[in-house]
A and B are shown apart, each in its own frame.
Chain A
Amino acid sequence: QKEVEQDPGPLSVPEGAIVSLNCTYSNSAFQYFMWYRQYSRKGPELLMYTYSSGNKEDGRFTAQVDKSSKYISLFIRDSQPSDSATYLCAMSVGDNYGQNFVFGPGTRLSVLP
């Protein structure tokens, strides 16, 4: 079993749809949870960052963390064609090696106009 698993996609939705992206993980020591967006031929860019369990909202994006189920989600409301990208979840135990993030394989999302 991989340490972080993610729905592989690809996922195609019509413009305006609500998108749900999910990751599961096996390491209960993870405390920091991130979602990155990666456009084709670009580096990942941080979308959302949460510590421990709970919800966090930023505009059209909502991140949820359920540590008891080892499950995190990213919701995108009113999806736009510009949201078409690969979405990567990432996690860290938050030790001194702070940049040691474990990434999921990514879900490719296409939002059709």
Chain B
Amino acid sequence: ETGVTQSPTHLIKTRGQQVTLRCSSQSGHNTVSWYQQALGQGPQFIFQYYREEENGRGNFPPRFSGLQFPNYSSELNVNALELDDSALYLCASSLGQGITGELFFGEGSRLTVL
């Protein structure tokens, strides 16, 4: 079975630009969530998608948006980038929207905003 894969692995943007990050969930997993991990900090929950709908959101502004596709892959879009958006963005997948045990993380996309 394939694990969670994310792209791109690294990218550099300037303040005010927009970015799209992509995630392919683990085979058979229908729930995807996105986390932001600033340097030296733990991951922070951005939002969760289940069956192509957002059904949970953390304390992030609306310029953070996402999509989940019928094959359960997902995108994270961030508009009007700010310097504080520089972080590792992690995608995680699991089977089912509730607590079922293991949450599988990808290796992340490292975003630098200049």
Contacts and interface: CB of A to CB of B under 8 A. Distances in A.
Q: Do A and B come from one complex?
A: yes
A54 interface: no
B55 A45 contact: no
Interface string B34-63: 010000111111001000000110100000
Query: In this complex, which of B41, B94, B103 has the most chain A Cβ atoms within 10 angstroms of its Cβ?
Result: B103
A98 B106 contact: no
B97 to A, nearest CB: 6
Given A96-B55, A96-B97, A45 B31 contact: no
A97 B4 CA distance: 20
Interface residues of B, number: 29
B42 A100 contact: no
B103 A97 contact: no
A102 B103 CA distance: 13
Given A99-B31, A103-B43, A44 B105 contact: yes
B103 A105 contact: no
Interface residues of A, number: 28
A104 B48 CA distance: 19
B90 A32 contact: no
Contact of B31 (A42, A98, A101): A98
Query: In this complex, which of A34, A41, A100, A102 has the most chain B Cβ atoms within 10 angstroms of its Cβ?
Result: A100
A100 B43 contact: no
Contacts of A41: 107
A103 B99 contact: no
B48 to A, nearest CB: 5
Interface of A: 4, 6, 32, 34, 36, 41-46, 49, 88, 90, 92, 94-106
